[in-house]
Structure 1
Amino acid sequence: MALRSLDNTLPLSPERPKKTVKVAISIPKQPAVSKVNDENKLPLDPSVVAPAVDAIDYISSENLKPVSDPDVKFKSLMEGLESKDWLKICDSLNDVRRLALFHSEILLPILEKVVMVLVKSMKNPRSALCKTAIMAASDLFKSFGDKLLESSTPNDAVDQMMLQLLLKASQDKKFVCEEAERTLNTMVVSTTPIPLLHKLKVYVKHANMRVRAKAAVSISQCVSKMETGEMREYGLVSLVQTSAELLKDRLPEAREAARGMVLLVHKAVMEDGENEEEEDKWQNFCQLNLAAIDALTMVKLVASQ
């Protein structure tokens, strides 16, 4: 039996949508902000609106005063330096500076421990603490000079401090960088060139090219302080080889420092009392102690001056 077509049947009526209940929510009006000054209102406490930021006073060495009772201050010094409160460490570092400048004999027995605290503080991400430690290092160099360089152990506290100074002098934070450069200059002025050169020469091949450049500047400053006899004592060959290494450096600062060293070494070589033709003495010296290409560079550099 054939089924009847349903085309003519009425479509089913869709369900009527249910009405949604609308609920009126009253939103309280925000009080209008008056732009007129109300003289009867108390001013807001600035400490509530903006909490005070801890500030550090950077005291120059010239403005530091002696400690009234150095023995008492010394007893609590290490406790302050090892504090977990960075502000207390800054205060203790300033005490270190005062003791170093005015009561250095008291500080001498714990000098290495103090230097290690300085190294740790220079590594701290707080720039204020880092700068205070760098300033303290400067005062240590002023007060103790060569005594800081006497340790013969490799990678000692002073070596670590020197590396941190070179690193900080290479970084982008200007006020830290400038302070580190001043301390490096103080280091050169306050110490004997030969012991300092032995400390600095290892950084000529440092992986960080900025460290190499800063080390080159300090080495050049050391050489400029030396008499011809001191340069011979340290070794003219060692100096010319260091200069040749730095002349190939990527940074102009290192190359410029090396050029200054080359001219100083050349002067010392030419003052040597050996009987030799003046024009050949420098060339022979370079060819004897350097690779051929480096020797040629040295000869051309001097000839261009």
Structure 2
Amino acid sequence: MALRPLENALPMAPLERPKKQARLAPPTTMKKQKTDVVVVNDENQAPPLPHPSSGDAAIDYIPSDNLSALPDPLLKIQSLMDGLESKDWTVICESLNTARRIVLFHSDLMTPMLERVVLILVKAMKNPRSALCKTSIMASSDIFKAYGDKLLLDETQSDAFSQMLLQLLLKASQDKKFVCEEADRALNSMVASLTPLPLLHKLRAYVTHSNLRVRAKAAVSISACISKMGLETMKEFGLAKLISMAADLLSDKLPEAREAARSTVISLYRASMEQVEEKQEAWQKFCQESLPPKHVQSIIKLVASHQSCLY
């Protein structure tokens, strides 16, 4: 068989170029991808433990009745100010509870530093941490019970008291319920512990406060003060000033302030008209002499609507 010439041979198939291999991701990248995977709702794994809270739950809010005398008050009071001025809020809370025990059971030891302690309470009430704020408010209640009118007799302590009063009115006006309720209790303790007349002079400034809630809380405390006063004490403050203050609050925006004003008017009527024969005529004359015309009828109508339960 004859050989075929090379030039007449079938063309050879072209050689295929090698395919590019897919580049593998670096090991570190793969590892990162694995660690980024989050397993959701895996019933075979225990749920993660909750993060510990900031510490508010660790604070004990001890009622005054559960406090006891200190076995070593002289030793405790020597280090009290260091604790109250600490940078650690939990230490301040502990020191406030110690201060409460000293105030209630060893008040004479606290007297020389009372002004400083009250100013520390004021600072603590301004603190945004609710636990510290509430503990300081509880301490203020105990100070009212232990010292009463002494808080107003000394001029420097009287200024510290004014600052504390403002903070209590502000805290009683805020939205944090457990702080608000504690401040209300402190204001009630204040009214119960202090003589009405000097306290009324302090409270009077706040019925014109720009914060309507502060006005309402002040009105409630004023009403409670007046309910404890006899006619002579009312006269000492000024009957016309009392009825004028109540008349202004009757048109306040908050129901709490208006209700306190109504209670004030009724207390004033009872005390001033108790020994008067012609009560209606005498009351109308008193209102006309003490109030601008726009308030006279509203006060007269208010008393008339309560006639059946006045005496």
Q: TM-score range by the shorter chain?
A: 0.7 to 0.9
Question: Which segments of 5 or more consecutive residues in structure 2 lack a partner in the other structure?
Answer: 1-18, 307-311
**Farther off after superposition, 112-121 or 21-30:** 21-30
Separation (CA, whole Å) in 2 of partners of 1:142 and 1:154? 15
Matched, 1:90 2:128: no
Q: Between the two proteins, what is the percent identity of the paired residues?
A: 56
Q: Structure 1 length normalisation: TM-score? A: 0.84
Query: In structure 2, which of residues 112, 118, 122 is the aligned counterpart of residue 119 of structure 1?
Result: 122
Deviation at 1:232, TM superposition (A): 2.2
Deviation at 1:44, TM superposition (A): 11
2:9 corresponding residue in structure 1: none
Number of residue-to-residue matches in the alignment: 278
Structure number, greater radius of gyration? 2
Question: Kindly tell me: are residues 67 and 153 of structure 1, through their superposed partners in 2, closer, same or farther at Cα, counting changes over 3 Å?
Answer: closer
1:110 corresponding residue in structure 2: 113
2:166 corresponding residue in structure 1: 163
1:236 corresponding residue in structure 2: 239
Q: What letter matches 2:149 in structure 1?
A: D
**1:243-286 deviations in Å (ceiling 9; x for gaps):** 0111121111000000011011112221355xx74321111101
Separation (CA, whole Å) in 1 of partners of 2:76 and 2:20? 80
Matched, 1:223 2:236: no
Local SS of the residue matching 1:156: helix
Query: In structure 1, which of residues 130, 135, 145 is the aligned counterpart of residue 148 of structure 2?
Result: 145
Matched, 1:284 2:285: yes
Question: Kindly tell me: are residues 233 and 20 of structure 1, through their superposed partners in 2, closer, same or farther at Cα, counting changes over 3 Å?
Answer: farther
Query: In structure 1, which of residues 132, 135, 160 is the aligned counterpart of residue 135 of structure 2?
Result: 132
Matches within 5 A, 1:288-299: 288-299=289-300
Matched, 1:250 2:248: no
Deviation at 1:175, TM superposition (A): 0.4
Separation (CA, whole Å) in 1 of partners of 2:43 and 2:274? 83
Separation (CA, whole Å) in 1 of partners of 2:158 and 2:216? 20
Q: What letter matches 1:285 in structure 2?
A: F
Separation (CA, whole Å) in 2 of partners of 1:143 and 1:36? 59
Deviation at 1:45, TM superposition (A): 11
Question: Kindly tell me: are residues 301 and 153 of structure 1, through their superposed partners in 2, closer, same or farther at Cα, counting changes over 3 Å?
Answer: farther
Q: Does the CA contact (< 8 Å) of 2:207 and 2:218 recur in 1? A: yes
Question: Kindly tell me: are residues 102 and 45 of structure 1, through their superposed partners in 2, closer, same or farther at Cα, counting changes over 3 Å?
Answer: farther
Separation (CA, whole Å) in 1 of partners of 2:51 and 2:131? 21
Separation (CA, whole Å) in 2 of partners of 1:255 and 1:65? 41
Q: What letter matches 1:24 in structure 2?
A: L
Local SS of the residue matching 1:171: coil
**1:75-124 deviations in Å (ceiling 9; x for gaps):** 11111111111111111111110000000000011111110000000000
Deviation at 1:68, TM superposition (A): 1.2
Deviation at 1:150, TM superposition (A): 1.8
Question: Which segments of 5 or more consecutive residues in structure 1 lack a partner in the other structure?
Answer: 1-18, 38-42
**Farther off after superposition, 210-219 or 28-37:** 28-37
Query: In structure 2, which of residues 190, 198, 201 is the aligned counterpart of residue 195 of structure 1?
Result: 198
**Farther off after superposition, 49-58 or 104-113:** 49-58
Q: What letter matches 1:286 in structure 2?
A: C
Q: Does the CA contact (< 8 Å) of 2:151 and 2:157 recur in 1? A: no
Separation (CA, whole Å) in 2 of partners of 1:102 and 1:143? 9
Q: Does the CA contact (< 8 Å) of 2:152 and 2:158 recur in 1? A: no
Question: Kindly tell me: are residues 278 and 65 of structure 1, through their superposed partners in 2, closer, same or farther at Cα, counting changes over 3 Å?
Answer: closer
Matches within 5 A, 1:265-284: 265-271=268-274, 277-284=278-285
